[in-house]
Amino acid sequence: MPVVNVRMSSLSASFPSIQLNEIIEKLPYVGLDIEGIDEDSGIIKVEFNPNRPDYSSEKGILRALKGLLEREMGLPIIKCIENTDYVIGISDTVTDIRPVICGVVAKRPDPLNEYEISQLISMQEDLHNGIGRKRKKSSIGLHDLDPILFPLSYTTVSKQFSFIPLGEHIESTVGDILNSFEVGKEYGYLVNKGPKYPMLIDAQKNVLSFPPIINGNLTKISFNTKNLMVEVTSTSDKSAQDIISILSFELHDMGFSLFSVRVNSPFDNQTKTTNLNPLKLMASVDYVNKVLGLDLSCEDFIKSLEKSRCSGKIMGDIVECYIPRYRTDVFHPVDIAEEVAIGYGIYRFNTSSPSLSMSANKNTNSLIFNSIREVLIGLGFIEIINTNIISRKILNDFFIQGQNNDLVSIANSKNFDSEVLRNSVIPSMMMTLSKNIHEKYPQKLFEIGKTFQIENSRLKEEWSLGVVIAHNDTDYTEIKSTLESLIKYCFNKSIKTPKVNFKHYLEGHSAKILYEENDVGDLGEISPQAIENFKLRTLVTVFQINLDLLMGMLNLKKLKYL
């Protein structure tokens, strides 16, 4: 989750009558996680959830906190002055690339200070990664307004088109930027379908930005910047509007006056202008009370909404709720319920116990597996657990010759030893033996776990039991007698063990396990080559059983009591 720095000094300044620790204690109750508090620098690091991109700045967080602490309630006030000069024309060539653009202009007598610039840049970063989906959906350009001559044109250019990119002194072509700039290499794939590339240029053909890659250098923001132009290009109208709203509220709180930007779109012949009006949603007090288990009056309901920086108008049983435009996560009455809960204060909720009594039980597998465990423990075995994901090397070391065509592999692992899903529990159990060579022998282990393979174009996931015995005198007799004891003591059944040869068993010392003529597993003495591959210095015997198969045949899908 992204992190924002909140300064203790701003908290104290915003809530002069409340103790600092009391303010900090309330931060989690607006949905923030305190990651760390640095007393020396007076900074509280907080994490915010992806549903609240408006928390990507200190001002956004203060806005919510002021509601909960009843310093400022209801919809935050914002004003956007209608303006007909700031116009962007969209060329229809961008349709297939990145069709949406919108913007806002912000003006102030004082230039931006260092802290404000860093806040805007870190917000831009968080918004890019969050609702911008790493610029794929939306990307933001922040510009100095003064060098721009309106109207702007959002259009496309060829790969040979050149301009001076942000932070550079000489011109580069679009092709150069895509091939040799870091941002070009990272985000180029979003527009690099050729032969046309999106470009935002002004009336004098100067470049504002090459979205979503890089801005032009002309409109670079500095400590002298007093007037700003913000644009968002996107594949989704809603996402672009969401981002403009969040940034508009931030700039408004920084003391800027906002002016609307008109966008003339060719496809629907529509003119759109910056829209910061609150969203409207209907919800009934009854429904919200039912969801929360509360009994709020209409007045309490409205007050709770206002503490969440929303507002409401009572219309009979229904409340017309208004939500500030920067909230991107409120679109269903259940979302209103959450706003009410947070405004009411989660700390004020009394827990209640539901009176639904049900007769409950563990599932059959859990019960049968526990019976198997009990018998094996009685026979002196210790239970181990290994991971389902293992390396090919372990499998190859065990099965000696790759018989692993039906293995289920993982497409994208970060760990070199996580490559495939195991098709047998035994190889990882051999690893366990190998890790315990300093421990006392005999070592007698078992594991109950899932195994995976592809069979007839279907992925098969089955429960499997593995049993291993390691010491200098273990042999086929010992492992077979363990197997027969388990089957007899657990199910009062017997099995047959016809001879079979596998590379990982000593030739002539291994067998299939047949239950009523069905192959449910195998057993034997592990081949010296496999033992050596696991760097063991003692003998190993094993058996493994497909539990799903065996339990199916024993008709154990449901446990019987009588």
Partner 1 sequence: MSIDDNSNKTDTFSNDFTMDSTNIPLHPIEKNILSILLHSGGLWTAENQLIEKSKLSIDQIRRGVEWLKFKNLIAIKDSSDFEISLKQSNIINNDFVLPERKLINCVKKGKKTITDILKSDEFDSNNKEVFASLKFCKQNSWIDIKNNSVVLLPNSENLSEEEKLIKKLLKSKSLKHSSLNESEIASFELLRNRPGVLDIKKNRNKEYAISDFGVSVFNKMIHGVDLERKLTAEHLISGKWRDLKFSQIDVEAPLPLLSYGKKNPLVDFIDEVKEILVGMGFSEIEGDLVQTSFWNFDALFIPQDHSARDMQDTFYLKPSQSIVSPLPDENIVKSVSKIHQQNWHYEWDVLESKSYVLRTHTTPVTIQYLAKEKPESDKVFLIGRVFRNEKASFKHLVEFHQVEGIFTSKEANLRQLMGIQTEFYNKLGIKKIKFWPTFFPYTEPSLQSMVYNDKFDKWIELFGMGMFRPEVTLPLGVKNPVLAWGGGFERLAMLRFDLNDIRELYSNNLTWLKGVPKCLL
The residues in 423-462 that bind partner 1, with binding defined as CB under 8 A, are 432, 435-440, 442-444, 450, 452, 454, 457-459, 461
- Residue 28 C-beta: closest distance to partner 1, Å: 4
Question: Per CB under 8 A, does 50 bind partner 1?
Answer: yes
Cβ neighbours of residue 96 closer than 8 Å, sequence gap 6 or more: none
Q: Which two tokens stand for residue 402?
A: 């790759």
Task: Quote the CA–CA distance of 190 and 168 in Å, as a whole number.
Answer: 23
Q: Which two tokens stand for residue 22?
A: 């009391």
Which CB atom, from 363 or from 501, has the smaller least distance to partner 1? 363
Backbone dihedral angles phi then psi of residue 485, each to the nearest 5 degrees? -65, -45
Region class of 180: left (phi > 0), else alpha (psi between -120 and 50), else beta? alpha
Cβ-based burial of 364 (10 A; exposed 0-12, middle 13-18, buried ≥19): middle
CB 500 within 8 A of CB 522: yes
Question: Per CB under 8 A, does 54 bind partner 1?
Answer: no
One character per residue 407-426, x = contact with partner 1 (rule: CB under 8 A): -xxxxxxxx--x--x-----
- Residue 52 C-beta: closest distance to partner 1, Å: 7
Question: Per CB under 8 A, does 37 bind partner 1?
Answer: no
CB 46 within 8 A of CB 61: yes
Which CB atom, from 79 or from 440, has the smaller least distance to partner 1? 440
One character per residue 183-222, x = contact with partner 1 (rule: CB under 8 A): ----------------------------------------
Q: Which of 193, 205, 313, 332 binds partner 1 (CB under 8 A)?
A: 332
Question: Per CB under 8 A, does 22 bind partner 1?
Answer: no
Task: Quote the CA–CA distance of 428 and 377 in Å, as a whole number.
Answer: 20
Cβ neighbours of residue 181 closer than 8 Å, sequence gap 6 or more: 165, 172, 213, 214
CB 85 within 8 A of CB 227: no
- Residue 172 C-beta: closest distance to partner 1, Å: 30
The footprint of partner 1 on residues 95-134 (CB under 8 A) is: 129-130, 133-134
- Residue 412 C-beta: closest distance to partner 1, Å: 4
The footprint of partner 1 on residues 238-257 (CB under 8 A) is: 238-239
State the CB neighbour count (10 A cutoff) for residue 450: 14
Which CB atom, from 413 or from 477, has the smaller least distance to partner 1? 413
The footprint of partner 1 on residues 368-407 (CB under 8 A) is: 370, 373, 376-389
- Residue 1 C-beta: closest distance to partner 1, Å: 9
Q: Which stretch binds partner 1 (CB under 8 A): 9-17, 48-56, 221-229, 278-286?
A: 48-56
Question: Per CB under 8 A, does 485 bind partner 1?
Answer: no
- Residue 528 C-beta: closest distance to partner 1, Å: 20
Please tell me the count of residues contacting partner 1 according to CB under 8 A: 95
Task: Quote the CA–CA distance of 501 and 520 in Å, as a whole number.
Answer: 16
- Residue 537 C-beta: closest distance to partner 1, Å: 10
Cβ neighbours of residue 466 closer than 8 Å, sequence gap 6 or more: 424, 425, 426, 429, 446, 447, 449, 542, 543, 544
Q: Which of 201, 310, 337, 539 binds partner 1 (CB under 8 A)?
A: 337
Task: Quote the CA–CA distance of 322 and 279 in Å, as a whole number.
Answer: 6
Q: Which stretch binds partner 1 (CB under 8 A): 198-206, 229-237, 480-488, 500-508?
A: 229-237
Q: Which stretch binds partner 1 (CB under 8 A): 22-30, 167-175, 217-225, 547-555?
A: 22-30
Chain centroid, CA 298 distance in Å: 37
